[in-house]
Amino acid sequence: MKQPTEVPPPRPRPDTTLLAFLALLLLATATRAAATQLVLARNSEHELAGEYSGIVDLAVDPGLDNAKVTVTVDGQKVADSLLSPYHVAVDFGPIAIQHRIGVVVRGAGGKRAQWQQTINRGNLPLTLKVQPVDLAARVFEAAVTAPKDDPIVSVQLWDNGRVAQTATSEPYRFTIPEGMLAAGLVQVTAKTKSGEEAADFWSPAGNVHAEELQVRTVPIFVSVVDRNGQTRDDVDASHFRILDNESEAKIIEFGKAFDQPISIALLLDASASMTYSMDHAEKAAAEFVARSLKAGDRCSVTAVQDVPRRKQALTDDRAQVAKALEGIRPLGRTALYDGVMSAIRELHDEKNRRAIVILTDGSDNSSNYTYDDIQQTAREAGIPIYFIAYESGGESDARDLDRLRYLAGETGGFVAIATEQNLMAKYNEIEKDLRAQFAITYQVSDLSKSNEWRRVRVVLDSPKLTARTIKGYFAP
């Protein structure tokens, strides 16, 4: 198997939101020995010569007796009511980036002085902001800044993980295709000469007044895959953004889902068409259970024939699950949709993380439920469905395979095409996906109605990565 390309997380930008200020009162002698010193005086030039990075000793000359001094950097307060000798140490980060330093002095008798000074002018961090300039004409522009010694080489518009348009000179403008705008997401990246990237997206979410807000929390499970289709579990929370009904939500909890117990409904196609493959299918499923389940997990086993036949109800006894997988005799037709409906009902009240894993070699030809029935129910249930399409092929299977892919995509699962030779490997792909899921709880504020369908999208700040989760839920 091809090894996944390493996708390093974006380098933290030394801008106003990510710059870590270390504001400590230091004795003047100790500070001068430990850091570069910068004198801030009311009569000095507004723009200070030289480049400043790392820890810098800001020494304020207030010009007033018995003064108290407040110092801000890019609007963030780093010292308040500072007394003589008026020194504060600030960590400006490893790169010399433009910053604006503000000083407010309050002296005896109500005297007051205030001024600002700029350091490292022109050394802007890599930033990107995309906004419409003519929404009716679908024209968008990306405003970009970059360090002067690492200029922008390209700005790219992305569509479903692929580059749709590229601009190499200002103004970085794009005419957005109608379909992309209808989908409600415009994603753009900027790349510098050194290869550093920044990403931003625009959505048509409107502003909501704070006094009208109703706050709710929503838990979801998210899988992340790279361009090679490999599951990733090394993505930091800072790279996730969530759109709930096109409004950006606030992530309040983030962790590895593998730490949470899971309940799996395991379904095996045991119709007559599996006569010569049943033994191999049983062994592969048993190995999947042995590898995937840990203490606290639960699993059920269902044989899908002319009707779904429950061989083992949900249990945390792995020996019972293994026993249920032995000696299933293939016969009859395939009630696949009835099997999926049965699994959804079984998992409905489970408090654990949930998943449905289904092995099938053919289309549904015996269910009472229709595809439309199962499509709606699966969408509402919010349980990821993983299909292993066993030796599927031929023109007659194309529509059925498309249906399976749609059901999996709507619920956060996927379809794996398997043969007898790689069946175990396909089960392993599902196991890896379940192990690597992220558990996210986010907060959304709006005036949603009860039973309103809420669309959910998880966006990552790198076009090299794609998030997979449920497509939505009904508001309680």
Look at residue 339 and tell me if it is in a domain. yes
**Residue pair 404/413 in contact by the 8 Å Cβ criterion:** no
Give the pLDDT band of residue 191 (cuts 50, 70, 90): confident
Look at residue 12 and tell me if it is in a domain. no
Q: Are residues 105 and 139 in the same domain?
A: no
Tell the residue number behind the tokens 């980060």, with chain if given. Answer: 93
Q: Are residues 184 and 223 in the same domain?
A: no
Indicate which CATH number applies to the domain containing 395. Answer: 3.40.50.410
Q: Label residues 222-242 b or e (16+ Cβ within 10 Å = b).
A: bbbbbeeebbbeebeeebbbb
**Residue pair 72/32 in contact by the 8 Å Cβ criterion:** no
d(CA 61, CA 306): 87
d(CA 235, CA 257): 13
Q: For residue 222, give the nearest of 414, 432, 470 by alpha carbon.
A: 470
Say yes or no to pLDDT of 447 above 80. no
Taking only the tens place, the pLDDT of each residue in 26-82 is 333 333 444 688 888 877 655 577 788 888 888 898 888 888 999 998 877 888 888
Q: Identify the pLDDT of residue 35.
A: 60
Q: Are residues 114 and 179 in the same domain?
A: no
Q: How far is CA 181 from CA 165, 169, 202, 207, 224, in A?
A: 14, 23, 10, 19, 24
Give the pLDDT band of residue 222 (cuts 50, 70, 90): very high
pTM over 0.75: no
CA angle 114, 120, 122 (to 5 degrees): 110
Look at residue 3 and tell me if it is in a domain. no
Find how far residue 299's CA is from the centre of its chain.
Answer: 28
Residue 280, exposed/middle/buried by CB under 10 A (0-12, 13-18, 19+)? middle
Q: What percent of the chain has pLDDT over 70?
A: 86
Taking only the tens place, the pLDDT of each residue in 249-296 is 889 889 989 878 999 999 999 999 898 889 999 999 999 999 999 888
Look at residue 303 and tell me if it is in a domain. yes
State which H helix or E strand residue 380 sits in: helix 371-381
Look at residue 103 and tell me if it is in a domain. yes
Look at residue 349 and tell me if it is in a domain. yes
Phi/psi class of residue 249: alpha, beta or left (left: φ > 0; alpha: ψ in -120 to 50)?
A: beta
Indicate which CATH number applies to the domain containing 89. Answer: 2.60.40.10
Q: Are residues 298 and 237 in the same domain?
A: yes
Q: Are residues 253 and 140 in the same domain?
A: no
Q: Are residues 474 and 393 in the same domain?
A: yes
Q: Are residues 274 and 255 in the same domain?
A: yes
Look at residue 220 and tell me if it is in a domain. yes
Residue range of the domain that includes 406? 208-476
Taking only the tens place, the pLDDT of each residue in 354-380 is 999 999 987 899 899 999 999 889 988
Q: What is the mean pLDDT of residues 89-109?
A: 84
Say yes or no to pLDDT of 23 above 50. no
* 76-85, 226-235, 438-447, 458-467, range with the lowest pLDDT: 438-447
Q: 398 φ, ψ to 5°?
A: -60, -45
Q: Are residues 183 and 229 in the same domain?
A: no
State the greatest distance between any 2 C-alpha atoms of the chain, in Å, as a whole number: 97
Q: Are residues 197 and 213 in the same domain?
A: no
* Domain final residue pick, 119, 154, 189: 119
Q: Are residues 182 and 239 in the same domain?
A: no
* Domain final residue pick, 202, 236, 264: 202
Average pLDDT, the chain: 83
**Total number of domains in the chain:** 3
DSSP 274: G
Letter for the amino acid at 32?
R
Q: Are residues 318 and 192 in the same domain?
A: no
- What is the pairing mode between strands 385-390 and 353-360? parallel
- Torsion of the alpha carbons at 66, 70, 73 and 77, rounded to the nearest 10: 150
Q: For residue 430, give the nearest of 417, 416, 442 by alpha carbon.
A: 416
Residues pairing with 139 in the sheet: 134, 175
Q: Are residues 102 and 142 in the same domain?
A: no
* Domain final residue pick, 85, 119, 153: 119
Q: Label residues 195-209 b or e (16+ Cβ within 10 Å = b).
A: ebbbbbbbbeeeeee
Q: Identify the pLDDT of residue 196.
A: 78
Tokens of 328: 């299933």
Look at residue 394 and tell me if it is in a domain. yes
Residue 168, exposed/middle/buried by CB under 10 A (0-12, 13-18, 19+)? exposed
